[in-house]
Chain A
């Protein structure tokens, strides 16, 4: 019952967000998030559930997207004629076909060999996309117009918000299906093969077959994401196939949390926000992204979802509220410390010129500002360290049955 409520809640949030945030920019960001969510979830099927680290996942996203854009062009010139609501399916099918082809030789082994093959394939496809100009359009890519298809219940998709609702629909359906996959024998065996391929073989499953199935399904959904991209932006370029995009989805899935189904969704939302909003406030947003990624890998290996799930025991035992005060006592100095580090970095970057940082105006030429920053930084650091003890005690108290047990994948 709880699960069902979660799904309904998810649907309501997806459909309701544009009502709350209705500016053009907000709709753009929501559209971006939708695409990222499907993409990241598809990646998690490979990495989180299947244990296969891929550096070339953008290939399926990109190929799906390119075919989708070409399909839109064909609709415009009436070579074919079908509703554009089916375009993500076109993307998905191409992603699937590519995954079947590439998976046929790359899923024999997992681990480093698989990662390296995926890297090689990724680079090859990205390079080919610049060579085969007739399909890929060279570095300017291919563009199309989505308004020439048959109207869908009267909607012609001129407005971005209409595309958002379509995307939201696809996101919901994709999420449901990807979740259901984890509950099927194929999905469960993928987990088994990830953890212990030898044992899986002993009970009669071909590890290779299982990996191949995961790989193809993952490719399908990546292609769906590519199709959503095509509908939203009405164009696609080589950069949507390349290693940077592959790296980005890895970041999303990892920061969100690989071991949990909801992890990539969190990662996708977080990274989209950082990518589109943070960059408008600071030039150094990529540096901060890098720092955040490294810190997450070091200290939060289960991602943000993992961090949230760590509190499951405490929540089940009703002891969650006892953690609020300790968190505040340690958390506030921690935030201030991070803030002072960020301010210091920005000050170094702005080298003698006053700039706005949150609600203050800082100037790296001013000794007073540096002094203030160092004081705040040092003070908050020590406050943080001193108070860690009481946080630990409160944590142990709230989890007294033992270490927090995380929910399994799914």
Chain B
């Protein structure tokens, strides 16, 4: 009974049909079709809470920023169509075909780089085989660098800084701390974990050659029940800090084990907040857990942003605005549609390339045309209960911004050789 609510297909369709009906009755123009956007992410199963949270944020962005203000492209409402992929690449394929079947041409997806990769190849194949019926992929969270390097595609746009960019900022932050001399890296044994490891080592060697990497550990994802043995190694290695890309249950367990063992060293992470993690860490994690992310923690950078977040919280008391980049993505997408006066993926893609946008936090975003990677300010925040205006998990604890880097300084070269469609 504590699961968050979720609108079903029927309700969304009913609502938008109703809206459409009203519009057509009261406007002198003929009935407007909604602009339909698919959202493919896990809505059931183990990762359901993250996917459902993302869906709510997308739905909220669409309603609050556009639908309640008369819609887009001359009065068309945005309709979000949720498709549950259960975090499985196979089910993603099925949901993709369902999207094609229903004429949806824009797909939002973010959870799991494996799924994003699958979707990317599937969409490229589909678009190649069906010219004129292309599909656009809006990747709001999958940070595997290859999606904007070796596997880059004209039809894929990424709205979060990828792992290397984030590590660049993180290592800068670590380098600024002269007390850190020994670092232990631990991560999940798969492509993202390996990228975190390899890149951290390489960047730190360049910025602080005096820092010694005293451990480089990989563990299988989701299999480790108790991290105490790993913590023993961390302790005996005499490390001053830990870097990890872990997420979900692995992140909670690791952080808990480190804290429980009495080890008082900073833990630098990507994903150690929200979705129950902040609540579990609570007082024990204060001033120990750091995150690199694209969304400013407290204090929120503008009144407009604060009001936006507060309103979301009012409507969804059990959720947090954990992925503001979804809002960024939707806003830029709509701007592209308005600029090109079209909902065709090809036109939208051309308009999105090299687009500059200032979001409601006052941040300057740039969608780099060469690889379709967003360039945005990045921040390092710390888990704390001091000066928290917007908390996480209704726990009183939250993220406080400690260090920020403007977009231009996060730029990393790409190796994308994009094949552009012939039109």
A26, chain B: closest CB distance, angstroms: 8
Q: Which residues of A contact B5 (CB under 8 A)?
A: 350-353
| A114 in contact (CB, < 8 A) | no
| A221 in contact (CB, < 8 A) | no
Encode contact with B along A134-172: 1 for CB under 8 Å, 0 otherwise.
000011110101010000000000101000000000000
Check if B191 sits within 8 Å of A235, measured CB to CB: no
Q: Which residues of A contact B190 (CB under 8 A)?
A: 130, 138-139
Check if A279 sits within 8 Å of B44, measured CB to CB: yes
The one of B1, B44, B102, B220 that contacts A285, using a Cβ cutoff of 8 Å: B44
A48, chain B: closest CB distance, angstroms: 25
Q: Which residues of A contact B118 (CB under 8 A)?
A: 140-141, 143, 235, 237
B274, chain A: closest CB distance, angstroms: 21
| B422 in contact (CB, < 8 A) | no
Check if B220 sits within 8 Å of A286, measured CB to CB: no
A351 vs B318: C-alpha distance when bound (angstroms): 13
A284 vs B3: C-alpha distance when bound (angstroms): 11
Encode contact with B along A18-32: 1 for CB under 8 Å, 0 otherwise.
000001111111001
Residues B80-108 near A (CB distance < 8 A): 83-84, 86, 88-90, 93-94, 97-98, 100-102
| A349 in contact (CB, < 8 A) | yes
| B356 in contact (CB, < 8 A) | no
Residues B167-204 near A (CB distance < 8 A): 189-191
A352 vs B8: C-alpha distance when bound (angstroms): 14
A237 vs B90: C-alpha distance when bound (angstroms): 8
Q: Which residues of B contact A354 (CB under 8 A)?
A: 11
| A280 in contact (CB, < 8 A) | yes
Residues A270-296 near B (CB distance < 8 A): 276, 279-286
| A356 in contact (CB, < 8 A) | yes
Q: Count residues of chain B with CB under 8 A from any CB of chain A.
A: 41
Q: Which residues of B contact A234 (CB under 8 A)?
A: 121-122, 125
A262, chain B: closest CB distance, angstroms: 25
Q: Which residues of A contact B8 (CB under 8 A)?
A: 281-282, 355-356
Check if B114 sits within 8 Å of A139, measured CB to CB: yes
| A205 in contact (CB, < 8 A) | no
A72 vs B83: C-alpha distance when bound (angstroms): 29
Q: Which residues of A contact B221 (CB under 8 A)?
A: 130, 139
The one of B3, B89, B129, B223 that contacts A237, using a Cβ cutoff of 8 Å: B89
Identify which of B6, B94, B122, B221 gathers the most chain A CB atoms within 10 Å of its CB: B94
Residues A350-368 near B (CB distance < 8 A): 350-356
| B309 in contact (CB, < 8 A) | no
Check if A239 sits within 8 Å of B88, measured CB to CB: yes
Identify which of A130, A140, A239, A352 gathers the most chain B CB atoms within 10 Å of its CB: A140
A119 vs B169: C-alpha distance when bound (angstroms): 44
| A348 in contact (CB, < 8 A) | yes
Q: Which residues of B contact A399 (CB under 8 A)?
A: none
A247, chain B: closest CB distance, angstroms: 14
| A127 in contact (CB, < 8 A) | yes
Given contacts A281-B8, A283-B6, whether A28 and B94 have CB atoms under 8 Å apart is yes
A24 vs B94: C-alpha distance when bound (angstroms): 10
A215, chain B: closest CB distance, angstroms: 26
| B9 in contact (CB, < 8 A) | yes
Residues B18-71 near A (CB distance < 8 A): 43-45, 48
A239 vs B86: C-alpha distance when bound (angstroms): 12
Q: Which residues of B contact A82 (CB under 8 A)?
A: none
Check if B94 sits within 8 Å of A355, measured CB to CB: no
| A106 in contact (CB, < 8 A) | no
Check if B84 sits within 8 Å of A356, measured CB to CB: no
Q: Which residues of A contact B114 (CB under 8 A)?
A: 138-141, 237
Given contacts A127-B220, A143-B121, A283-B44, whether A235 and B97 have CB atoms under 8 Å apart is no
Check if A283 sits within 8 Å of B94, measured CB to CB: no
Check if B90 sits within 8 Å of A233, measured CB to CB: yes
A334 vs B85: C-alpha distance when bound (angstroms): 33
The one of B84, B94, B121 that contacts A235, using a Cβ cutoff of 8 Å: B121
Check if A28 sits within 8 Å of B97, measured CB to CB: yes
Question: Closest residue of chain B to A237, judged by CB?
Answer: B89
Q: Which residues of A contact B129 (CB under 8 A)?
A: 147, 158
Check if A130 sits within 8 Å of B189, measured CB to CB: yes
Q: Which residues of A contact B83 (CB under 8 A)?
A: 280
Q: Which residues of B contact A23 (CB under 8 A)?
A: 101
Residues A1-48 near B (CB distance < 8 A): 23-29, 32
Q: Which residues of A contact B340 (CB under 8 A)?
A: none
Identify which of B1, B8, B10, B11 gathers the most chain A CB atoms within 10 Å of its CB: B8
| A240 in contact (CB, < 8 A) | yes
A48 vs B191: C-alpha distance when bound (angstroms): 40
B86, chain A: closest CB distance, angstroms: 8
| B343 in contact (CB, < 8 A) | no
Check if A32 sits within 8 Å of B121, measured CB to CB: no
Q: Would you give 25 A-B contacts (Cβ < 8 Å), ordered by A?
A: A25-B102, A26-B101, A28-B101, A29-B94, A127-B220, A127-B223, A130-B189, A130-B190, A138-B114, A140-B114, A140-B191, A141-B89, A158-B129, A233-B90, A234-B122, A235-B89, A237-B89, A279-B44, A283-B3, A283-B44, A283-B48, A349-B3, A355-B8, A355-B10, A355-B11
A138-B190, A233-B90, A234-B122 known, 8 other contacts, Cβ within 8 Å:
A127-B220, A130-B220, A237-B90, A237-B118, A281-B8, A283-B43, A355-B10, A356-B10
Binding site for B on A (CB under 8 A): 23-29, 32, 127, 130-131, 138-141, 143, 145, 147, 158, 160, 233-235, 237, 239-240, 276, 279-286, 348-356
Binding site for A on B (CB under 8 A): 1, 3, 5-11, 14, 43-45, 48, 83-84, 86, 88-90, 93-94, 97-98, 100-102, 113-114, 117-118, 121-122, 125, 129, 189-191, 220-221, 223
